[in-house]
Amino acid sequence: MRTTQETVDVVVVGGGTAGHVAAIQAARAGVTTSVIEAGSMLGGTMTAGGVWMPNHFFTKTGPVVQGIPWELYTRSKEIEGLPVPDYRRRRPVETPGYYSYINVPVYAALAEAEAVKAGVVLHYHEFVQDVSAVGDLWEVASVGRGVRRVTHAKEIVDCSGDSDVVRILGMRVLKSKVSQPGTLQYKIGGIETEQLWKEEVQALYEEAMRDGVLRKGDWAYANMEPFLYYLQHGGHNATHIYDADTSDADGQTRADIEGRERMLRIFRFVRESIPGAERARIDFMAPHALARETFHTVGEYTVVKDDFVKATDFPDKVCNAFNYIDLHSQAIGCEVSFIDDPEAIPTVPFRALIPKGSRRITVAGRNVSANRIAFAGIRAQCTCMAMGQAMGAAAALAVQRGVASRDVDSRDIVALTVEHGAVPV
């Protein structure tokens, strides 16, 4: 195995939803930046995971997340030859804001090209295994096939989704006793939706559940929507994997196997039993199952439900967190609750992105310090990307000023992101 060394100002661990934006922001701000990513592309859950629906860039009345995420989104639409829809005319009833869709190959390739153009050094297929402090530098050990890398960096942004670096360093993390179920993304095509009769497919679904042909969780939204909805959406984003914990390889393997079992069971049922679905086929399956939540970092502040629903005006806010509370559970299925005041825009405080008692390391994305209910609102992709942009800026400013990221004023972080197109908060 080849052993190699690298020295950068900022290392971003995990090039997913938050991480790709963090890296582009840090590099565009002028510091040397690398990404260590276990997968084969940027974007994580929003690309490789098959959750291609980032929300929310806009409320009904104005922008909440812009900057690098919006730039990549709009440029990907240009490449696809599609207009960027006017947010004021999009789905005003179903969701509280602008719901958008990316084309995964286009978005992932564009994000990668922009990262490379900004000077980000990308290392795909590598897992971070060990992290230690050596004087004023971090030593980050990662392993990929045939390569063992030691990266020295002044700042780390942990965007692993499962607080990997924070856990390796033995810092505090939080895991809910009842975590939200996970999902394996897949999509069934070839269903002739015009042949579906709502009452008939509902009766067939209920009979299959009674007879044990289908199991609870195969159709996750049964408490909210009729089975017709599953068929109309080809089963995308529609299955629950209970207790999915993808924070290590054993848990990931179990979730992958259960996700595929569920996919195959319901696909057989649909194709064999639903009139109009005889020619159904599975068009897409993500390479791995996803968890909605595993280990949150315990930060200098933990965002709680009231902060989210009442939109606490944090003195150290770094980005917006506009979304509904999207809580999935084994007991109920899915509960969605909207914030009463449409003008209330929750935000993320810098302290929720600083691991408690740490220096020179921040987190972004799913790692954010938040309790169960607040987390069900904050974890949306646009917020994760905005957190990434803010922490990329914090790391860059820290390096340029010769201080630790935690000592950078949150107003300076926001100012730098605004220079790069973000919405002022």
Ligand X SMILES: Cc1cc2nc3c(=O)[nH]c(=O)nc-3n(C[C@H](O)[C@H](O)[C@H](O)COP(=O)(O)OP(=O)(O)OC[C@H]3O[C@@H](n4cnc5c(N)ncnc54)[C@H](O)[C@@H]3O)c2cc1C
Q: Which residues form the interface with ligand X (CB under 6 A)? A: 13-19, 36-39, 44-46, 51, 53-55, 127-128, 159-162, 164, 183, 237, 290, 292, 365-366, 379-381, 384
Cβ distance to ligand X smaller for residue 191 or 220? 220
Helices (H), 50-122: 67-80, 104-118
Neighbours of 193 (CB within 10 A): 12
Q: Contact, 154 vs 399, CB < 8 A?
A: yes
CB of 40 to ligand X, least distance (A): 9
Cβ distance to ligand X smaller for residue 141 or 213? 141
CB of 45 to ligand X, least distance (A): 3
CB of 158 to ligand X, least distance (A): 9
CB of 124 to ligand X, least distance (A): 9
CB of 65 to ligand X, least distance (A): 10
Cβ-proximal residue to ligand X, closest one: 16
Cβ distance to ligand X smaller for residue 161 or 299? 161
Q: Contact, 277 vs 270, CB < 8 A?
A: yes
Q: Give the position of tokens 């509904």.
A: 324
CB of 297 to ligand X, least distance (A): 11
Neighbours of 133 (CB within 10 A): 13
The full DSSP string for 157-193 is EE-SSS-HHHHHTT--EE--SSPPPBB--EEEE---G
Query: What's the distance, Cα to Cα, between the start and end of the chain in Å?
Result: 48
Residues 6+ apart with CB under 8 A from 9: 26, 31, 32, 33, 153, 154, 155, 395, 396, 399
Cβ distance to ligand X smaller for residue 183 or 405? 183
Cβ distance to ligand X smaller for residue 157 or 208? 157
CB of 241 to ligand X, least distance (A): 9
Cβ distance to ligand X smaller for residue 358 or 381? 381
DSSP designation for 423: P
Sign of the Cα torsion 343, 349, 350, 352 reads negative
Cβ distance to ligand X smaller for residue 38 or 204? 38
Cβ distance to ligand X smaller for residue 204 or 382? 382
CB of 402 to ligand X, least distance (A): 28
Residues 6+ apart with CB under 8 A from 19: 12, 13, 35, 37, 42, 44, 157, 159, 160, 364, 365, 388
Q: Where are the beta strands (DSSP E) in 124-258?
A: 126-134, 137-144, 147-158, 173-174, 186-189
